Chain A
Amino acid sequence: MRVLPKIAHELRCPVHGFVQINNLERRILDTPPVQRLKHIHQLAMTYQVYPGATHRRFEHSLGVMDLAGRAFDSLLSTEKLQFGAEVLGEAADRRERDYWRQVLRIAALIHDIGHLPFSHAAEKQLLPAGWTHEHLTRDLILNSEITEVLARERPAYHPEDVVRLALEPDEQPETALTPWQAILNQILTGSTFGVDRMDYLLRDSYHAGVGYGRFDPLRLLDSLTIVAPANPEETHSDVIPSLTRSGSSALTQDPESLVLGVMEGGVQGAEALLLARYFMWSQVYLHHVRRGYDLHLKDFMMGWLPEGKYPITLAKHLRLNDNIVLAAIDEAAATPGSPGHEAARRIVQRNHFRRAYSLNYMDFAPTTGHPNAARLLEAALHAEFGQTSVSVDYVEPKGGKKEVPVLTGNGEVVSGLAVSDVLNTIPPAWCAYVLCSKELVEPVRRFIERRKSEILLGKEESVKGYDG
């Protein structure tokens, strides 16, 4: 009996319905670096706050791949080429398009393979100075089974091209992306319309059970377009002020100036996306209990790993995942005196640090506080209560107003900030929590109430009566 070979496969996804995957993508999916993502939580220990948030980077990567393909098809559809993308030679060449569409989907599928266990929780402290997980991602793309899979294809897919699209531009400073590559890189990693962000907002919202992260991805993808600003004051992809219709000036022949924008009907979709980002950051990603567990995870890893550093050899990286770390936490919690015992005990017994105080904007403003408020307060608290019992967790402002190019119905490209009151009012997300052990919450609060002005303003000014 003849059995027809399968050339396409489908995987179910609670967020996107079905994710289509071809044979090449399936071979990459089956490699150890990608399979490892089944054991890396997308949101670290957020499940301690939102019990449903146990999803992994594996399904997120599949979702990003799916969205990347859809975004590519939408942006480079025949009808939309006239708005700016037609100046890109690759857009008109069938073979180039097919090649780069596949590279983009592969880059999307493997963009997270360098993540440490529990994702971002302790990256900065555990990796060598200047490193991020993207260094490991790059190494794996260039030196693992993935490289072999790509090389076996005819024609072959170049791993360096995958790196160019998978890594954020500032993680590959030595690489000058071509205009075409820069657009494709934006599709994946862009801070406004990148599909990585689109998927994780939807997925995290779904699994956490919060409604804030929802927006209409299909409508948004359908309305995305590549546009060319004709008189740019600013030319970074996220800040596009003065724009006119593409196709009407010499500068629109400039492929360097192409950026991602939305058609007029997609403005609300863009608003919803940016609002979703703000809400998810402030409600989920920066939740004070989650931040407390991040702190304990970091302390455990630094105590448990040899010399407090994550191994950057690929073989060792591939052996480390959340399961290994959780088993080690369990063991350490039960063994007094073992490396990381105290932090492990807090995690296992759910005796996490509590929030004693949240700094506010006035604490940071120079006239009423100090820009270094978080570190000044932390130093004073450490001196009073000891370094292991209290911590100030400060995350700098993220997001906020984002410039979005909008292609209007009459062919003009205008600034999103000029047509949308919503885009003008989205605040940045940030946090500055004073976290401490449960029994210290009241003493810490009283200390802050009594001493904050003097700590932030100095004795003289606090006596003058500035109210911090």
Chain B
Amino acid sequence: MDKFVRQTLVASLVEAMRQAGSWCGRTHIQKSLFALQTLFEPEPELRYQYVLYRHGMYSFELDRDIAELEFYGGLAREEQRPYGPRYAAPGLQAFKQRVGVSLTDWTSALEFIAREVGTGNVRELEALTTVMYVSTDLSERSANPTTQLKLRRVHELKPHLSMDEIAEAQSTYDRLRVNVAKVDSLESKPS
């Protein structure tokens, strides 16, 4: 049932993002879920594998799950011509009931991500998630990477982002990490 636990998380995140006023296109879902994984570090059954793709962190597994969720009604695509589609989760309750997964312990975390990350625009999300990736990657390689080192590395990976944009994203990440501690303290282990 691992697949359905993750899919329930995705559909629940989409619901929270729409409530928070997010455009909730595919990119928003991709980046918001990456932020959730980075900040809240869920157990393996709730995680997607991400790669550093052309426009930031991207999960092909998640892409397939979104398609499958859409197929059996866990997610609904809303065409918004001439813009791209956005997603909603009108079938969330029926889906959760059927697969027997509730994830109620994740409610606060999902609302936090939806509000603090999900409402950003695509460029902001690209910058933020790349900063997250670099921070994690550099921390695994060296004991205390400096902020300047991190910013330079992000700029190497994403030269079209200005240093100001990257610095802003770093500042946002720092703020989120502080605020996550307050959310996390309210959480028991996810069910």
Contact = CB atoms under 8 A, between A and B. Distances in A.
Interface string B41-64: 000000001111111001010011
A383 B160 CA distance: 58
Interface stretch (A64-72, A174-182, A217-225, A433-441): A174-182
Given A367-B94, A371-B95, A372-B1, A232 B122 contact: yes
Contacts of A233: 23, 25, 27, 83-84, 122
A255 interface: yes
A8 interface: no
B164 interface: no
Contacts of A256: 54-55, 158-160
B74 A366 contact: yes
A5 interface: no
Dominant SS among interface residues on chain B? mixed
Contacts of B7: 371
Contacts of B64: 396
Contact of A241 (B1, B30, B85): B85
Contacts of B159: 256
Given A233-B83, A257-B55, A173 B49 contact: yes
Contacts, number: 122
B27 A417 contact: no
Contact of B71 (A179, A242, A255, A428): A428
A96 to B, nearest CB: 18
B85 A235 contact: no
Contacts of A396: 64, 67-68, 71
A242 B83 CA distance: 5
Interface in B5-38: 7, 23, 25-27, 30
A430 B71 contact: yes
Contacts of B98: 366, 370-371
A64 B84 CA distance: 31
Nearest to B121: A233
Interface residues on B, range: 35 or more
B157 interface: yes
Dominant SS among interface residues on chain A? loop
A88 B78 CA distance: 34
A424 B84 CA distance: 12
Contacts of A285: none
Given A366-B74, A372-B1, A234 B97 contact: no
Contacts of B1: 372
Contacts of A308: none
Contact of B27 (A173, A235, A254, A255): A235
B62 to A, nearest CB: 11
B59 to A, nearest CB: 8
Contact of A236 (B27, B52, B71): B27
For B27, B71, B80, the residue with the greatest tally of chain A CB atoms inside 10 Å of its CB is: B71
A240 interface: yes
Given A372-B1, A415-B82, 9 more contacts: A173-B51, A236-B63, A239-B84, A242-B82, A361-B71, A366-B98, A396-B71, A417-B85, A424-B79
15 contacts: A169-B53, A170-B51, A176-B52, A236-B53, A241-B84, A253-B160, A361-B72, A366-B74, A370-B99, A371-B4, A371-B95, A372-B99, A418-B82, A428-B67, A430-B71
Q: Nearest 9 A-B pairs (CB), nearest first?
A: A241-B84, A173-B51, A235-B55, A366-B98, A366-B94, A170-B60, A364-B72, A254-B160, A397-B71
Interface of A: 169-170, 172-173, 176-177, 179, 182, 232-237, 239-242, 253-257, 361, 364-367, 370-372, 396-398, 400-401, 403, 414-415, 417-418, 424, 428, 430
Interface of B: 1, 4, 7, 23, 25-27, 30, 49-55, 58, 60, 63-64, 67-68, 71-74, 77, 79-85, 91, 94-95, 97-99, 122, 126, 157-160
